[in-house]
Amino acid sequence: MDESAPPGPAPRAALHHLAVETADLDNCVAWYTDFFGGTAAWSLDTFSELTRQRLPGITRLTEVVAAGTRFHLFTRSAAYAGPHPDTLQFQHVCMTAATAGELRSWRERWQRLFASGRYVFARPEPPTDVVVDADGVSSFYALDVNGLEYEFTHIPAEAEGR
């Protein structure tokens, strides 16, 4: 194999799921199904050797199918102390809304669910305002019940491919 040659076209791949670690699986599944409007498809409580190596202490995983993707919500035993503070993590996940109006609907939905008091939020911070840049791209950020950051964006057709 000539390792100095360019790698050529990449094989096909697409996003399959986002894995979300939570301290409270019931709370997390409730919020993800209610907020993203999805359903809990299946749960697992036995795991392969590889999964147990990658996620020490994993006890239960539920897949929620919603918003054009799958969320793999999982929890670990209390004995797991968590990652080293310097461990690299993905910083946020961005979901697209089809219209600027739907973007605002997502923000209002977040606020409505928060105000319901039905969920425990690790970081009870409100979503940011919707900001609109010079190209008409609008976005806001909001945290899930675990404190993980989501961005919602609407990219108008004329701003696509910037």
Report the distance separating Cα 134 and Cα 105, nearest Å: 22
Q: What is the DSSP letter of 68?
A: T
In the complex, the smallest distance separating the C-beta of residue 151 from Fe ion, rounded to whole angstroms, is 4
In the complex, the smallest distance separating the C-beta of residue 97 from Fe ion, rounded to whole angstroms, is 13
Nearer to Fe ion, 30 or 155 (CB): 155
Give the H or E element holding residue 102: helix 100-116
- Which of 40, 151, 155, 159 binds Fe ion (CB under 5 A)? It is 151
- Sequence-distant (6+) residues with CB within 8 A of 30 are 118, 119
131 near Fe ion, judged by CB under 5 A:
no
94 near Fe ion, judged by CB under 5 A:
yes
Stretch of residues binding Fe ion (CB under 5 A), selected from 25-33, 83-91, 143-151, 154-162: 143-151
Report the distance separating Cα 134 and Cα 123, nearest Å: 31
In the complex, the smallest distance separating the C-beta of residue 16 from Fe ion, rounded to whole angstroms, is 20
Nearer to Fe ion, 125 or 133 (CB): 133
Report the distance separating Cα 133 and Cα 47, nearest Å: 45
Report the distance separating Cα 16 and Cα 64, nearest Å: 12
149 near Fe ion, judged by CB under 5 A:
no
Nearer to Fe ion, 102 or 151 (CB): 151
Tokens representing residue 73 in the block:
């919500």
- Using CB under 5 A as the criterion, which residues of the chain lie in contact with Fe ion when the complex forms? 94, 151
